[in-house]
Amino acid sequence: MTEDKAKVNEELENEMPEIVEQQEDSAQNKKDSKKDKAHKKSKAEEQLEQAEADLLELKDRQLRLQAEFDNYRKRTLKERMELMKTANESLLISILPVIDDFDRAMQTLDLDENESHVKTGVKLIYSKFQEFLKQNGVKEIEAKEQSFDTDLHEAITKIPAPSEELKGKIVDVVQKGYFLNDKVIRFSKVIIGE
């Protein structure tokens, strides 16, 4: 039995370095496995961080694109509204000499003291024409006895003022000026008192 023990001890001693080596290999494999897992984990974390960064960048880009489109839509809507306001500007500017002639005709009719159907008809047409101009945004620039404003008036000449209150103000209007939706389409031609 002692021989058997001795054999077993001897076999154990021979196998011991192998077992120790196997245990060391196993421990090393566990360490390597932990390193691999840690490496895989850090790589996965990096990929996750990269994906989050890409997502944030895409969200930012999408928000900017949406804001840019919103601005474009508002700008084109504003341009369209301005275009609609001034689309008939050239037509209305062409009508201004007719308005001047109509005003002179009305002044001449007012001098005639006879009330006739023609006079009544012309006054009716004149009032309809004035209403048409108002509906299209055309309005007269008030000038007589107002302060001279270079943004609204064009001075033709200066004359001595008939009174002290009219010095530096508009004494007479030679040609009426007009607005089209708060835009001057023709300046008033005026005479200034000095």
| Tally of domains in the chain | 2
Average pLDDT over the chain reads: 82
Do residues 108 and 139 share a domain?
A: yes
Residues 82 and 118 in one domain: no
**pLDDT at residue 58, rounded to an integer:** 92
Same structural domain, 152 and 101: yes
- Which of 87, 102, 128 is where one domain is finished? 87
* Model confidence pLDDT, tens digit, residues 137-147: 899 998 888 88
pLDDT tens digits, residue range 153-177?
888 988 888 887 778 888 888 999 9
Question: Is pLDDT above 60 for 185?
Answer: yes
DSSP the chain: -HHHHHHHHHHHHHHHHHHHHHHHHHHHHHHHHHHHHHHHHHHHHHHHHHHHHHHHHHHHHHHHHHHHHHHHHHHHHHHHHHHHHHTTHHHHHHHHHHHHHHHHHHHHHHH-----HHHHHHHHHHHHHHHHHHHTTEEEPP-TTSBP-TTTEEEEEEE--SSGGGTTBEEEEEE--EEETTEEEEPEEEEEE-
pLDDT at 68 (0 to 100): 94
Structure tokens at 3: 């021989």
pLDDT digits 0-9 by tens, 11-63: 656 666 666 566 666 666 666 666 666 667 788 888 889 999 999 999 999 99
Residue 67 — very low, low, confident or very high, per pLDDT cuts 50/70/90?
Answer: very high
Chain CA centroid to CA 2, Å: 104
Domain span holding position 2: 1-87
Q: What local confidence, expressed as pLDDT, does residue 111 receive?
A: 81
Do the strands 188-193 and 153-159 form a parallel or antiparallel pair, or are they unpaired?
parallel
Q: What CATH code is carried by the domain that includes residue 132?
A: 2.30.22.10
